[in-house]
Amino acid sequence: MTAFSLNPEQTARCEELRALAAERLRPLAEKGEPGHVNRPLVAALGELGLLEGLFTSGALDLCLMRESLARACTEAETALALQGLGAHPVHAYGSLTQREQWLPPVRAGHAVAAFALSEPGAGSDAAALALEAAPDGSDGWRLTGEKCWISNAPEADFYTVFARTSPNAGARGVTAFLVPADRAGLTGTPLDMLSPHPIGALAFDGVRVDGADVLGEVDRGFRVAMTTLNRFRPSVGAFAVGMAQAALDATLAHTAERDAFGGKLKDLQSVAHKVAEMATRVEAARLMVYAAASSYDTKGPQAAGIARRAAMAKLVATEAAQFVVDAAVQLHGACALRRGHLLEHLYREVRAPRIYEGASEVQRSIIAKDLYG
């Protein structure tokens, strides 16, 4: 890819993914129950080889996949992304035993993963998490506390859980654990959220973990969390770009066909200028996402400036998508507010990405810290 365009193979792949999402995945998504894991949809992602791509694709290819799916079926995009977010720490930091046990069923769409970082009192301030990992024997801990706002909870098959193994140590006292959902003492509760995908809370009542459950190194779990988020933040931006493009496509069609004031809606200068602004913001966001992902692929996750670029991409794309979807609703009028309308769906979906995986305010802090650092 150049700085400004995709090559023919990438363009063809994006078109193929949009067709797959529309023809194979959207019908399964429409049969799902809001607020619950759609296991047939996850299984279809596995059968089509898309989940395998989470672990074999570079950051740019992941962005192209998420953007393409989002334009045609946001539910499929989100199901895929959550598998990646929950399982990437296992892929990148897990032991051979952990990888052999959990990654094949994740790739096949038979096991559902979840990323359990946020807590009731530690959402944006992830380093302040309080889930306690109290020593239990020579090589074990007992997890006690809560996690909240966890996507795929409480229906996931396993969780990447971040807990405090060293009190009063901030980010340096956190350890990542792989915790199967059936571990004694682990319970969950679904939360009724605006977003249609499952989100829940988890309660840990002395849940036993040991050295075999550690992902990476003890007290180095914050690195596991941040490297995972740095990989996925540009692709959150790609998800937002896909939604924004879907809203723009719908708006172009609607304003070209709708009769108004003796002509078509698009003939009104105020409408035409709004659509031009929407298109410009979508393209600007897309280029920032592609640039951040390409930088990650070229320089590696630990390179200087990677976190800043990822934060910029997520910030610009999610804010742009909010603007574009809202403008699309305004230009469509009341019909866009009816249940089942594409824009009604996108209006509910587009709000959450400005909060999860680091709110917009957190992204600005990351950017500023890197600039002054």
Residue 4: the pLDDT is 67
DSSP assigned state of 334: G
- Bigger pLDDT: 65 or 197? 65
Q: Which residues contact 303 (CB under 8 A, 6 or more apart)?
A: 295
- Bigger pLDDT: 124 or 241? 241
What does the pLDDT look like over 306-339, one tens digit per residue?
999 999 999 999 999 999 999 999 999 999 999 9
Distance CA 312, CA 24 (A): 33
Return the residue matching tokens 């659509």.
Answer: 275
| Sheet strands (E) in the chain | 113-116, 132-135, 140-151, 158-164, 174-180, 186-190, 199-210, 214-215, 259-260, 263-264
Sort 367 into a burial class: Cβ within 10 Å, 0-12 / 13-18 / 19+.
middle
Task: Report whether 218 contacts 296 (CB < 8 A).
Answer: no
Residue 170: the pLDDT is 86
- Bigger pLDDT: 301 or 338? 338
- Taking residues 195-213, what's their average pLDDT? 94
- Residue 202 pairs in a beta bridge with 147, 188
Percentage, residues of the chain above pLDDT 70 = 99
- Taking residues 20-32, what's their average pLDDT? 97
Q: For 113-219, which CATH superfamily applies?
A: Butyryl-CoA Dehydrogenase, subunit A, domain 2 (2.40.110.10)
Residue 301: the pLDDT is 79
Return the residue matching tokens 């706002």.
Answer: 149
| 3-class state of residue 296 by DSSP | helix
- Taking residues 261-274, what's their average pLDDT? 96
pLDDT band at 1 (very low <50, low <70, confident <90, very high): very low
What does the pLDDT look like over 71-92, one tens digit per residue?
999 999 999 999 999 999 999 9
Task: Report whether 366 contacts 127 (CB < 8 A).
Answer: no
Domain boundaries, the chain: 8-108, 113-219, 222-372
Task: Report whether 67 contacts 21 (CB < 8 A).
Answer: no
DSSP assigned state of 132: E
Residue 299: the pLDDT is 86
Task: Report whether 177 contacts 165 (CB < 8 A).
Answer: no
Q: For 222-372, which CATH superfamily applies?
A: Butyryl-CoA Dehydrogenase, subunit A, domain 3 (1.20.140.10)
Mean pLDDT score of the chain: 95
- pLDDT > 50? residue 135: yes
Fold of 8-108: Butyryl-Coa Dehydrogenase, subunit A; domain 1 (1.10.540)
Residue 137: the pLDDT is 87
Would you name the residues annotated as active-site residues? Answer: 357
Distance CA 341, CA 333 (A): 12
- Taking residues 200-216, what's their average pLDDT? 98
Closest C-alpha among 178, 173, 142 to residue 161: 178
| 3-class state of residue 263 by DSSP | strand
- Bigger pLDDT: 34 or 329? 329
DSSP output for 28-80: HHHHSPTTS--HHHHHHHHHTTTTTHHHHS-HHHHHHHHHHHHHH-HHHHHHH
pLDDT band at 122 (very low <50, low <70, confident <90, very high): confident
Return the residue matching tokens 């320089």.
Answer: 299
Q: Which residues of 85-96 are buried (b: 16+ CB within 10 A; e: fewer)?
A: bbbbbbbbbbbe
* Identical fold, 113-219 and 222-372: no
Please state the pTM of the whole predicted model: 0.93
Task: Report whether 184 contacts 230 (CB < 8 A).
Answer: no
Distances (CA, A) of 86 to 106, 207, 353: 10, 19, 17
Task: Report whether 75 contacts 32 (CB < 8 A).
Answer: yes
Residue 303: the pLDDT is 81
Distance CA 150, CA 120 (A): 11
- pLDDT > 60? residue 267: yes
Q: Which residues contact 2 (CB under 8 A, 6 or more apart)?
A: none
Phi-psi region of 336 (alpha: psi -120 to 50; beta: other; left: phi over 0): alpha
Residue 2: the pLDDT is 55
Distance CA 92, CA 227 (A): 9
Distance CA 143, CA 371 (A): 37
- Written as six digits, the tokens of 172 are 């340096």
What does the pLDDT look like over 218-227, one tens digit per residue?
999 999 999 9
Sign of the CA dihedral 31, 35, 37, 42?
Answer: positive
Torsion from C-alpha of 331, 334, 337, 339, nearest 10 degrees: -130
- Taking residues 145-149, what's their average pLDDT? 96
Residue 3: the pLDDT is 61
Percentage, residues of the chain above pLDDT 90 = 87
pLDDT band at 121 (very low <50, low <70, confident <90, very high): confident
Distance CA 147, CA 164 (A): 12
- pLDDT > 80? residue 126: no
